[in-house]
Amino acid sequence: MAPYLESVKSFADVPITDAGVDTAAFLEAADGLVGLFDLFQSAAFAVVQNDIKGNITGVRNRFLTDPEANKTLELLVENERKEGKATATEKLKWLLRGLSFTCKGLQHTQADAEIELSKAFAKSYKETLERFHNFIMKGVFALALNGCPHRAAFYTKLAADSTGGPSVTSERLNEDLNKWLDALSTIVVRMESFRQKGRLSKL
C-alpha cells in the first residue's frame, strides 16, 4: 500500500475529450474521494459519505446498462434525456455538488496553512450546498462540520503509509493534493458549463 492519494484513482488521471468526461474513470476517482472521509474518523460525516456513495451507485448503474453509449458523463445525460428519464442525471447533479463541497473545503485548507478543517468546510458549505438544503439537512451538516478532525491530524493520516512505511513529505503531499483538487475542480466547472447550456437538466 501507499499514502492515501497514491492508492486511489486521481481525478488528474480522468480522461477528458471532446465527447466529455470519461464516466468509468470519473466514478473510480469519486470512489477514492469517498474513502477520504474515512480519514476524518467522524461518525457525523457518515451522512455526507453515504450520500456521495449513493449518488455514485446511481450514476454507475446507468453507465453499466451500456458502457460504450454512456462512456462520458455528457453522453450519459443526453442518452437518458432522450428516453425521457432523469434518474441518473439527478444522481449526477447531487454527486457533483458533493464533490464540489469536498473540493472547495480542501482547497480552502490548502490556501490557508492556519485554517482548521471545520472552518474550511463550513466556508465551503456556504458556497456550495447550503442553498439547496432545508432546515433539517443544515442541522445535519452543522453536526458533521463540528466533527471535523484537527487539521494536523488529518494531514498526518493523509501522508501516512498504510503499511507502516515512511510518510510522504509535506511538499510531496501538497503537490499531489493540489493536483488532485485542481483536476476535480476542472471537471466540476466543465459540468457546470454543461448545465448552463441546458444539458444537465434541473441542476
Greater model confidence, 122 or 149: 122
**Percentage of the chain with pLDDT > 70?**
95
Q: What is the pLDDT of residue 2?
A: 66
The Cα-based distances of 97 to 81, 102, 179, 187 in angstroms read 20, 9, 20, 12
Q: What is the pLDDT of residues 84-130, one digit of tens each?
A: 999 999 999 999 999 999 999 999 999 999 999 999 999 999 999 99
The model carries a pTM of 0.91
Tell me what the mean pLDDT of segment 5-15 comes to: 91
Q: What is the pLDDT of residues 159-195, one digit of tens each?
A: 998 777 889 999 999 999 999 999 999 999 999 888 7
Contact 105, 111 (CB under 8 A): no
Q: What is the pLDDT of residue 3?
A: 79
